[in-house]
Amino acid sequence: MQYGPAAFNTAKVILMLRFLLKRLGLAALVALTVSLISFSLLFLAGDPAVALAGEAATEEDIEAIRTQYGFDRPIPVQYVAWLTGAFTGDFGNSYYFNTPVIDLISDRLPTTMQLGLAGITFALLLAVPLGVIAAIRPNSLIDRFALFISVVGQAMPTFWFSLILIVIFAVNMGWVPVSGSGTWQHFILPTIVLGYFATPGIMRLTRAGMLEVLRADYIRTARAKGLNPAKVLFKHALRNAAIPVVGLAAVQLGFMLGGSIVIESIFALNGAGLLAFESINRNDFPVVQALILLFSLIYVLLTLLADLLNAWLDPRIRVA
């Protein structure tokens, strides 16, 4: 017979490959643009040599710094040099620590990554089931509870929520450490805080999506076949409702990886967010440039991942 699972898979794989190549090309373009922008930031802030030399510097000092750091070369040359370095992971040395930027970042990034991944996982585990249940039973107790959680989640400041958790679970109960990043227990409270703030959006989108999908004609068709309710819900409804959620979760994770500065400082987690914040204050341009490029690349990568996931969820996207 013509139609085995084999034929089925080849057609699917070819479609997916074409789609993947298209999206990869697009992502590469975006990444290049982003690199240009993050490089230009250095010059947007004024003359980097002046900024580096400090207030008391003389004209000669500034000139010396300019040649030392290569700011006297034409800007396109500097850009190409920087970009070539970036490709090999060489972002120069930190002005402040005088150590390779890449070492600083590879030291800090894992913490941020772990926190971000844990945060989004926590958010999804909390938000998706709540959103689904809220959609199946609108106006029920669970629906109201979900609404309560999302209102509180949006209203409460991060630091306030963090402090409450620290006081209750770290100080009073003593279940988890107060701060630091030594063990996995150190990540529990920051994960909850970070994840909690992504919860309302994901939950409401899941709920709205499920409500809409459950009204769809194809859900009635699925029920008319006599499928059991769980199959109707998870196979036929959730997959379609999940499509917008994937995009949102990717954006949220992007924010988490780039912007958990407050949480990193409250819990004394030495992450990349904190490093970015400090480096900006210290005029440590190479570190700032590298981090911006990195955060943007992560963002581009996440968007790509979300696109691919959606293409897998929704075959209509694959041909686009």
Footprint of other proteins on this chain (CB under 8 A)?
A: 1-3, 7-8, 11-12, 216-218, 220-229, 231, 235-236, 239-240, 313-316
Measured CA to CA in angstroms, residue 126 lies from 12, 80, 82, 119 at distances of 32, 45, 43, 11
Q: In terms of CB distance, is 5 or 76 closer to other proteins?
A: 5
Report d(CA 300, CA 320) in Å as an integer. 19
Report d(CA 113, CA 105) in Å as an integer. 12
Per-residue DSSP letter, 137: S
| Radius of gyration for the alpha carbons in the chain, expressed in angstroms and rounded | 24
Beta carbon of residue 143, minimum distance to other proteins (angstroms, whole number):
15
Report d(CA 51, CA 61) in Å as an integer. 12
Beta carbon of residue 210, minimum distance to other proteins (angstroms, whole number):
14
Q: In terms of CB distance, is 238 or 275 closer to other proteins?
A: 238
Beta carbon of residue 24, minimum distance to other proteins (angstroms, whole number):
23
Beta carbon of residue 9, minimum distance to other proteins (angstroms, whole number):
9
Q: In terms of CB distance, is 18 or 171 closer to other proteins?
A: 18
Q: In terms of CB distance, is 193 or 311 closer to other proteins?
A: 311
Beta carbon of residue 218, minimum distance to other proteins (angstroms, whole number):
4
Q: How many CB atoms sit inside 10 A of residue 50's CB? A: 16
Which is it for the CA torsion 188, 146, 148, 156, positive or negative? positive
Q: In terms of CB distance, is 138 or 157 closer to other proteins?
A: 138
Q: What residues pair up with 93 in beta bridges, in sequence order?
A: 100
Task: For 77-127, give the DSSP string.
Answer: HHHHHHHHHHHTT---B-TTT-SBHHHHHHHHHHHHHHHHHHHHHHHHHHH
Q: In terms of CB distance, is 22 or 239 closer to other proteins?
A: 239
Beta carbon of residue 238, minimum distance to other proteins (angstroms, whole number):
10
